[in-house]
Chain A
Amino acid sequence: MSKQVTLTIDGKQVTVQEGTAVVDAAKLAGVDIPVFCHHPKLEPAGMCRMCLVEIGRPMRDRATGQFVMENGAPKIQFMPKLETACTNKVEEGLVVVTQSAKVAEGKNNILEFLLTSHPLDCPVCDKGGECALQDLTIAHGPGKSRFIYDEKRHLAKQKPLGELIFLDQERCIQCARCVRFQDEIAGDAVLEFDKRERSMQIVSRSDPGFDSVFSGNTTDICPVGALTTADFRFGARPWELGSQASICAQCPVGCNTTLNTRREAKADGEIIVKRVMPRQNEEVNEIWICDKGRFAYHYAESKNRLTKPLVRKDKKLARSSWDAATKLAAEKFSKEKKDFVVLASGRLSNEDLFNLKTLADHAGGKAYLYSHMAGGELTSLVGVSAGTNFGTMGAGTTILVVASDLYQEAPIWYLRVKQAKERGATLIVLNPRETKLDKYASFKVRYEYGDEAKTVHDLAKKSKEGDALLKSENVVVLYGSEGLGVLGSQSLATACAKLLNENGYIGKPNSGLIGVWERTNDQGAWEMGFTVEEDLAKALKDKSVYVVGADPVNDDPKLAKALEGATFVAVQDVMETATTEIADVVLPAQAFTEREGTLTSGERRVQRFYPAVPVTGEAKPDFAITAQIARNMGVILEGTSASVVFDLLAETVKSFEGLNYAKLAEVKEQLPIVGRGDMYYGGTTYENKHGLGVHLSAAATRGEKVSIPRVQKEAVPHPKDKELLAVPINKLYHRGTTVMSAELLHERIGEASVSLHPDAAERLGVRAGQTVNVSFNGASGKAVVKLDSSIDEEIALVPRSMGLAIHEPVAVKVKA
């Protein structure tokens, strides 16, 4: 703990850490000092001059060095000019005055200056109602401007910085929060100022414009309506919005969010989600979310939502009742017994997955997680658990990232890992190709696709990376599925778990294994006992299949064929999909925005989400539908209350022991203080009033004996002449159902692509941008060629969920 310093702010004594800025110390003392450019997450800039205060220091006698005393207290000598509270650090005995005529005049002056250039378009401004400039002008500003209105500058009102974020140049007050966020926090320094004096303007220096997956955060911290998202601008007034706590369901990070909702004429008078905002959780996402989380929420209001149960009659799906539909499903599932298969998605809640797994167990069937990444039984054994906090990782901790492009797969983890490195942690990045995280790596290790497990195994042997790792007090390993299928990821996970287990990095805070899963609650499914199947097509063929939240028919022709050969298919989903089209029974599920539940993040934190909008049609929560089917099969499952399902789950699954909804909803004070009435300080992010979540216990923390199985040798196919080794990689923006419903993201998603080394492209006679045919294992598809000189010549990178069903390394032929 660093040194504490006591100072006086407006007569209140406050003790804070040495190095704290006066403005932040004031916040802790409950004194609001208005700011525009200062932000508690950014380095001080001293630009806007709004935080002017009077600062005095105890006088010392020059000769003796002793305090000069006056009436029994040190005499305070005040600085002749007003000082900025953001650039002055606390000092012992410092006296700060924020409420005086001089300070009031200073604030008034600065506001008058800012308003000389700022348009008075509050009535049509998206920020109106949550605008720092508006609020502070009302509180401290002049009632009238002495600046002649005609002399105001007129500038671009709708300048796209990219297709996601728009700049209103007139409204910008040049505080540089956005520029500094991109530089200091995001590490994508794509914004900067152009020109100087009053002509100074924010510009994007990237192609495509504002090329950063964190761009939306700049609109939260913009103190005026200069930066707005293409998604929300002109969409609603902030005061019309309802707000409900939620959890982002796009990736395994589990960012805490707030859903802003409004009744909407465009949605036939329904209440819909208008925007997704970050909600503070300093251990998870601080006050940030990525653009996928911010923009890819529209599927819940899609026209393709399922609203009623359907049953196939005369080869056509026809409207049915819940009773009839669930009875039919129950009948078919009961009949098949051992041939009953549950195929569930990791975007379902813990409660849904618990009921599904219980049903499968009772019926004697199988429960598969719809994923191409294995190793979850190991994260349950040696995963991170209580006390783990990315926000405190620094010197003494090694973070090993293997086979994952974190920027693309779990952007907020990318930020956390980058920060930990900046605080002194050792970062080792193992990947076959360059990823964005490389620039922060203490050590980079390249390997050939297929050598993942071997590379991790060899690391602990004599190597400088291994030495650094083994010297650390704590080690966290994040492993992903770049270039890996089920078998490969299983081997890699085993090698990682062995490394941690053999060197004592389990069962303690800030140590353990983290899976960079494809979906938000894959970890939850693993905790429940779901497994992944290497040959899923085989596992589905001739079975009675209950598909929940997944669309295998669209994803993979092999699976489509397998399901055609199934004896019975019930599909439970929120939207019509290619899989519902071939179903015998279709069961409409509620979107996560319409119900409550819990999700388990990749770092094994269980968090609650809450209903934000009314239910669509007759849709029911997944766990309730499963319970209804179960009842018809003679199995009693809880089907009405999510919290009761959770209680049963906590009694059954060891790692959940002792947890309940009340505990998950607990909060404690978080710093910095944001999201209260003072949006000028932290931005429009929300305060967390609905729960910080709780870590699951791991076998290692429960003191159970941990034994890691032997690493299975990986087998990577060897491409023949004129073939390439296609490896799947993960992209943030892909063609998945939830992402595609956000039209705004289509430009970023792009088309199915295949990345080749320039020499390979030349040898094959194809060029960048050309559409080629990629064939493999008897299947084929179209893809656009991209060139990437950082990969080997025999490699073809194929992003997952973009149309080509390549889930593991395969030999492919690429033809023009």
Chain B
Amino acid sequence: MTHILLRHREIPDINQLPVYKKSGGLAAFKNAVTKMKPTEVTDVVKNSGLRGRGGAGFPTGMKWSFIDNKNWPHYVVANADESEPGTFKDREIMEGNPFQFLEGLMIGSYAVGANAAYIYLRGEFWELAAALDEKIAELEEDGYLGDKLFGTDYSLRLYTHLGAGAYICGEETALLESLEGKRGQPRVRPPFPPSVGLYNKPTIINNVETFANVPMIMANGADWYKSMGTADAPGVKIFSLSGRVRKPGNYELPFGTTFRDLIYKHGGGVQDSRKVRAIMPAGASSSLILVHDDNLLDTPMDYLEVRKLKSELGSASVIIVDDTVSMDWLLNKTVHFFQHESCGKCTPCREGTYWMSHLTERIHGGQAVKADVDLLLKVAKQMQGKCLCALGEFSTMAVVSGLEHFREDFDNVVKAS
């Protein structure tokens, strides 16, 4: 198929400005700025049904329409923190097809009347940030960024900003704190960023992939976009496939593609031809889907259908777990990740992840008794619904679902006591 987002796979050198322009790039931005009202741009995005690709799947156009027009200036922020274990799609977009992402960001900025937009990248992306800085400079030189664009009153500048390596900075309010030069810790919501965001000003924050969709929607129309995917989630999604598959990687597919197609048709099947035992559809933050029935693999992947399996599609970082993996090992891994990444701001997450990590470590190490396994489940459940931000909740997802579905893996490693 032809890619919409990962177009560099078909068009060589699309990361070069002349090539991008020759492929139709930047026409949508110029058209928007010179011929459309900001609200018209928002309406197109709203009508396309585009949903945020950062994980929550919030309708993008609706978010843009929430911007508080009584309070100025406005800011737009691209969340390029990409820190969910198993997610590696934004990096490929920014490396391979950077201008499409930048153009989407520029169109979004125009739609909400922002004259400054920030790209917040995780610290490890420093080379990428330097490359983006060059691209931004080229756009400025070419008259697509700067003051009074195309002879209109609209001005826009883009800036990159590097984080310091914290998972929590992918959470939008922690990202804003970090961007402001403070400790990356989430803020209390509400108020939400479209009312009170960066420097307490109305701010729109979207994921890199979300922005990358926007130029194509503007160029081809909302109906074209809606012709792909499902009613719940129109368009295409980049699935970051990893785990025990033969061909891990990014696969840009329409929403509604089944797990089976992703794993077998695109991912080359499970290593050593083993059976899929569980799926983590949203990286480490996922509830584990127990594949007890082979038919379950025919579930079409969109937000609604995955939720029916008591999990979330999230950012679609699909991790395949086969029967060589013991769940006590898997949980120990994910819990240690969350323990390490807990920002420490709220009690249940700070203390709960620490406690859980001790329990999973003990269980995995074979030093636990059955009561420890019961306690692990209780600790996870007593964290739920009490944390300040979603990270704390996420840390319990794999634990609770893992213990509910795969209790035997844990009972196998505990002492008889």
Contacts and interface: CB of A to CB of B under 8 A. Distances in A.
Contact of B346 (A47, A80, A109, A117): A47
Contact of B355 (A47, A49, A116): A116
B340 interface: yes
Interface residues of B, number: 29
Contacts of B351: 113-114, 116-117, 198
Nearest to B389: A46
Interface stretch (A144-152, A283-291, A375-383): A144-152
A539 to B, nearest CB: 58
A515 interface: no
A109 B343 CA distance: 20
Interface centre among A81, A116, A193 (most CB of B within 10 A): A116
Interface in A99-150: 106, 109-110, 112-114, 116-117, 146-148
B350 A200 contact: yes
Interface centre among A45, A50, A192 (most CB of B within 10 A): A45
A523 interface: no
B347 A50 contact: yes
A11 to B, nearest CB: 24
Interface string B287-321: 00000000000000000000000000000000000
A46 B343 CA distance: 14
A82 B346 contact: no
A197 B343 contact: yes
Contacts of A117: 351, 354
B362 to A, nearest CB: 8
B342 A116 contact: no
Given A82-B386, A151-B358, A193 B347 contact: no
Count class of interface residues, chain A: 35 or more
Given A117-B351, A197-B353, A49 B388 contact: yes
A109 B382 contact: yes
A197 B340 contact: yes
B21 interface: no
Contacts of A81: 385-386
A174 B353 CA distance: 15
Contacts of A109: 348, 382, 386
A196 B347 contact: no
A48 B183 contact: no
A196 B342 contact: yes
A44 interface: yes
Given A113-B351, A113-B355, A147-B355, A198 B375 contact: no
B343 A82 contact: no
A52 interface: yes
Interface centre among A114, A117, A193, A198 (most CB of B within 10 A): A198
A114 B342 contact: no
B341 A193 contact: no
B363 interface: no
B80 interface: no
Given A52-B386, A197-B344, A198-B342, 17 more contacts: A47-B347, A48-B346, A49-B347, A81-B385, A84-B188, A110-B347, A110-B348, A112-B382, A147-B355, A174-B345, A195-B344, A196-B166, A196-B168, A196-B341, A197-B343, A197-B353, A199-B344
- Please give me the 5 A-B residue pairs with the lowest Cβ-Cβ distance, nearest first: A200-B344, A113-B351, A81-B385, A197-B342, A46-B188
16 contacts: A46-B188, A47-B346, A47-B388, A81-B385, A82-B385, A110-B386, A113-B347, A113-B348, A116-B355, A147-B355, A174-B344, A197-B342, A197-B354, A198-B344, A198-B350, A199-B344
Interface of B: 166, 168, 183, 188, 339-348, 350-355, 358, 375, 378, 382-383, 385-388
Interface of A: 44-50, 52, 80-82, 84, 87, 106, 109-110, 112-114, 116-117, 146-148, 151, 173-174, 192-193, 195-200
